[in-house]
Structures are given as structure tokens and as C-alpha cells.
Amino acid sequence: MNAITGSPEQPARSPLDEAIEPPRPARPKRWRRRLRRVAIASGIVLLAGYLIVWWVALRFVENPSWPPPADAVTSNGAQAITEEFARRDNPRRDDVRLHLDGPEFFPAMLADIEAAEGSIHLQMFGMTPGEIAGRFTEALARKARSGVEVRLIVDFYGAKVDAGSRPYFDDLTAAGVEVVVNNVFPLDRDGLLDEHAIDSWQDEVGQSDHRKAMVVDGRIGWVGGAGFQDHFNGGTFHDVFARVEGDVVRQMQAAFLTSFHSLGGPLSGEPGSLDRYFPSPPGPGTIRKTLL
């Protein structure tokens, strides 16, 4: 055996051997190579998954607002397309006055709710504990108990459905208000609140619904940016609601009812069954509008 440590199977290298042929660096172990390959493959899969989710759920597409495209829902076609949508077994996902800030538009909206005779259809993103949410909850529950049809679409996250606002929704459903929820986070459930079931499509996930709108008796429409939250009533947030009448209200009604049904709300699609939601306006109005 050589004086420099070695073994009978692999004799030790002498200093001369080292000078003539330097030792080769040790090859990385197989598990390290495999780990790198797994990490690279996982990164590619995650990147591809992110791009798919972004394209399907998170991408914003800006369309021109005027003139409307050829397939836009017109006022005259609003009822027919809503009835057609309601027949689907598994639906997928005139004059203008601006009201500035909560102290002006909240009382006016509540006055229209109090005057409702047939239906109140309300879509709301933010609804958190406070004076404003309490006033609207009381007004809607009172109208429902008096026989007026009240339907409500809320965003699970924005309205804190299973958190601080739960007492409001308990009061509303007990009074007969039909509530459906948009679930931006899993699990997506369809149907009326407290009767809903898991949706196999999960098509609401990633689709936050930030709209705030109301249609009263199919004749009066409200659309704006404030939630049922006290900070919109205290001067710290500046926001606007518009009250509209005329042809555009029928388009607002179509937007509400198709959204309500896509979230599992019951809706009849028989021809003529929705007549009361789409009354003809007394006049066409003078201001050209489009509903986005």
C-alpha cells in the first residue's frame, strides 16, 4: 500500500499524479439533480397555473361604452333575454339626478324603498355593522313582511356575510328577503342563503362583485359607488349615486335578475312571467345612456 493513504482497491495518488492529472470534482449526488429538476418543473407548472388563473379570473378587459356593440341588450330586448337566461338549468357567474355623499343619497334611497309597491331588487358590495346598514336592513325587512318582493345580491367578502353582518342577514331572511351571495373565495355556493349548496363549477371564485345598484318596481334605478357603511355618511368618503328613470331601468333589471339567477336564485323563465319587472316607462327621456 502506498504511503499516502489509500486502499487495495483504489491505490492512493502520489503528488506526481496530482500534478499530471488534477482530481476531478466530485459529481453531485443523484438526489440533488432530481431535486433541481423537480423544482424547475414545479416552477413551470405554478407559472402556467398563475397565467391561466389570471387570464380566466383576474384579467380586466376594457370595452368601449358607446356606441353599444351589436349584441348589446337593448331596453326592448331586456325582458326576453332575461326570460331566456332564466330557462337555463345551470346559468354561469330618464332623466338623471346625481346625489352627492351619503347624507343626500341614503335618505332618498330609503324613501324609494318605503314607497315600493311590488319589488325591490338590490345589489350591494359593502355592508358592515353600523347605523346605515341597520337602517337599510330594517327598511327592507319591513317591506318584505308587508308583501313586497325583496331580493338582495351581496358579495360574501364585502358584506361580511358570515362575520359582523350576520345578524343583518338573519333578520332579512327571517322576514322573507331572498338573499344570494357571490363567493369570491372558495368554496363557491349557489342558492338562497342558508339553503345554498356547493357549486361544482366554482365559477364565482376570483370574481369579486363590486356593483351597487337598486331597482324599485321596475321603474326607478339607483347606481353608484357607496356601500351600506357609516364612513360614506360621515363626510370622510366622497361618493355619488345616480337616480334614473326611463328605458335604462329595464336594462338594470335584466342585469340584476340574470345575476340573481346565476347565483342560484329562483327565477321563472316562462314567456310573460317577468312582465311586472319590465313595465314600459311613461316617456323615453332625453339623455342618451348605456348600462355598463
Residue-wise pLDDT tens digits, 146-171? 999 999 999 999 999 999 999 999 99
CA–CA distance, 194 with 48 (Å, rounded to integer): 37
Report the distance separating Cα 45 and Cα 14, nearest Å.
Answer: 50
Other beta carbons within 10 angstroms of residue 259's beta carbon come to 21
* 222 in a structural domain: yes
pLDDT tens for each residue of 55-83: 877 777 776 767 777 778 888 889 998 99
Which residues contact residue 172 at a Cβ distance below 8 angstroms, ignoring those fewer than 6 apart?
137, 140, 141, 144, 150, 152, 179
Q: What is the 3-state secondary structure (H, E, C) of 56-78?
A: HHHCCCCCCCCCCCCCCCCCCCH
Q: Which of 98, 73, 117 is nearest to 248 (CA)?
A: 73
- Residue 242's DSSP bridge partners are 98, 223
Look at residue 66 and tell me if it is in a domain.
Answer: no
What is residue 81's DSSP assignment? H
Instruction: Report the number of distinct structural domains present in the chain.
Output: 1
Half-sphere CA count of 51, side-chain side, radius 13 A: 6
What is the helix (H) or strand (E) element at residue 143, kind and residue range?
Answer: helix 131-145
Give residue 155's domain range. 78-277
What band does 5 get if pLDDT is binned at 50, 70 and 90? very low
Segment 11-32, tens digit of pLDDT: 565 655 555 566 665 555 777 8
Range from 119-123, 145-149, 197-201, 280-284 carrying the lowest mean pLDDT: 280-284
Whether 94 is covered by a domain: the verdict is yes
Most confidently modeled range among 88-92, 199-203, 250-254: 250-254
Distance CA 228, CA 232 (A): 8
Question: Would residue 131 count as lying in a domain?
Answer: yes
Kindly state whether residue 195 falls inside one of the protein's structural domains: yes
Q: Are 214 and 109 in contact (CB under 8 A)?
A: yes
Given this model, what pLDDT does residue 171 score? 97
DSSP state of 163: T
Q: Is the residue at 49 inside a domain?
A: no
For residue 139, give the CATH number of its domain.
3.30.870.10
Confidence check: pLDDT of 172 > 90:
yes
Alpha carbons 41 and 282: distance in angstroms, whole number: 64
| Spatial separation of the C-alpha atoms in residues 56 and 32, rounded to whole Å | 36
pLDDT single digits (tens) 105-142: 999 999 999 999 999 999 999 999 999 999 999 999 99
Residue 288 falls inside a structural domain: no
pLDDT recorded at residue 177? 98
In 125-182, beta strands by DSSP E: 149-155, 178-182
Q: Is residue 241 part of a domain?
A: yes
In this prediction, residue 173 has a pLDDT band, given cuts at 50, 70 and 90, of very high
